[in-house]
Amino acid sequence: MKRITILSGKGGTGKSTVTASLAVMLSRNKKVVAVDCDVDAPDLGLCLGVQDKDYEWTPIETGQKAELDESKCVHCQACKDICRFGAIGWDKVKNQPVFNRLLCEGCGSCKLVCPMQAINLVDVENGRIGHAKTKYGFPIVTGQLKIGETGSGKIVLFIKTKAEKLVDKESMDVLLADSAAGIGCPVIASINGSDFVIAVTEPTPSALSDLKKGLKVVEHFKIPYGIIINKWDINEKFSKKIEDFAKESNISLLGRIPYDEDFVNALVNLTPAVVWNKKFEPVFSEILEKLDLR
């Protein structure tokens, strides 16, 4: 059993497109579960032809928000003074706190400090997780943060727990997880516990800078990794620079994927590139070979 997470730092380098094609290729010889950990912008399903209506969804509550019991408030402002997230304002007319739901982290400091127990923490539904079977026979687990809510990292943990259940139940060989752009909380939750990380980059100064930051996080968790240069031929000179960086840093280069408008066409038709056009198969099977997963 191998847990592989795809990361990139920079958005739009092709994480989901690459993950979808790798998953399809892998599923021909192995038992695979695809996992979408990008709860801010979950797109892996779309790349595999799975749409919102195809999932079986379960709402989840991983967050709490502070709420005021007006009848008990003695207007002392202790809650407002203690909040470090700027989530409590003061309503001068009513002379009582106003809670900004968008900023409230649900930490409970205000509740602890309130002398009248006038503040309660209530559970909020801040997202949902879903699962479906792809047309290609393997399952996908996904999740989505409810707009305006916080706690994407926790939703990622829920998704991973759900995926692990499938791994146990169906004795999967590979769990392939697509993470969000960036390097913050949801990405950390995605890569933590992985056996290997694939970083997908592209030949632009921005992507290389973000790749390096992303790899620092991976190193922080002591997880082995390799890189894929996507759209490598849009700037061959810069691709060479990335390759040199990989060589110097002893990073394994798993593959180079060319730019091809057929990737966009495949995407528009909600079809993985390797299914849309067989010409893409060799480049992805080489990557799997390098990963020792053929």
Closest CA to 71 of 87, 94, 104: 94
Work out whether 102 is an interface residue with another protein (CB under 8 A): yes
Query: Minimum distance from CB of 177 to another protein (Å)?
Result: 16
Query: Minimum distance from CB of 42 to another protein (Å)?
Result: 8
Piece of the chain touching another protein by CB under 8 A; list 24-32, 53-61, 65-73, 177-185: 177-185
DSSP 114-140: -TT--EEEEEE--EEEEEEE-TTS-EE
CA neighbours closer than 13 Å in the CB half-sphere of residue 96: 13
Which residues, 237 to 276, sit near another protein by CB under 8 A?
238, 261, 264, 267-268, 270
Tell me the C-alpha distance between 180 and 186, whole Å. Answer: 7
Residue type, 72: K
Here the tokens at position 180 are 């969000």
Q: For helices 261-268 and 15-27, give the axis angle rounded to 10 degrees.
A: 80
Q: Which is nearer to another protein, 150 or 194 (CB)?
A: 150
Query: Minimum distance from CB of 72 to another protein (Å)?
Result: 18
Query: Minimum distance from CB of 215 to another protein (Å)?
Result: 8
Site string for another protein, 202-241 (x = CB under 8 A): -xxxx--xx--xx-xx--x-------------xx--x---
Of residues 53, 147, 222, 248, which one binds another protein by CB under 8 A? 147
Work out whether 12 is an interface residue with another protein (CB under 8 A): yes
Q: Which is nearer to another protein, 54 or 173 (CB)?
A: 54
Tell me the C-alpha distance between 160 and 37, whole Å. Answer: 8
Piece of the chain touching another protein by CB under 8 A; list 133-141, 146-154, 165-173, 275-283: 146-154
Cβ neighbourhood burial of 65 (10 Å; 0-12, 13-18, 19+): buried
Here the tokens at position 169 are 């139940």
Piece of the chain touching another protein by CB under 8 A; list 25-33, 91-99, 148-156, 164-172: 148-156
Helices assigned H by DSSP within 28-141:
44-47, 78-82, 109-113
Return the residue matching tokens 């470090």: 84
DSSP letter at 61? -
Work out whether 186 is an interface residue with another protein (CB under 8 A): yes
Of residues 59, 89, 108, 115, which one binds another protein by CB under 8 A? 108
Query: Minimum distance from CB of 220 to another protein (Å)?
Result: 4
Closest CA to 280 of 265, 264, 260: 260
Tell me the C-alpha distance between 30 and 288, whole Å. Answer: 11
Q: Which is nearer to another protein, 76 or 82 (CB)?
A: 82
181 three-class SS = coil
Query: Minimum distance from CB of 173 to another protein (Å)?
Result: 27
**Residue ranges in contact with another protein by CB under 8 A:** 8-13, 16, 38-41, 43, 46-47, 64, 82, 84-86, 102, 105-109, 112-113, 145, 147-148, 150, 152-153, 180-188, 203-206, 209-210, 213-214, 216-217, 220, 234-235, 238, 261, 264, 267-268, 270
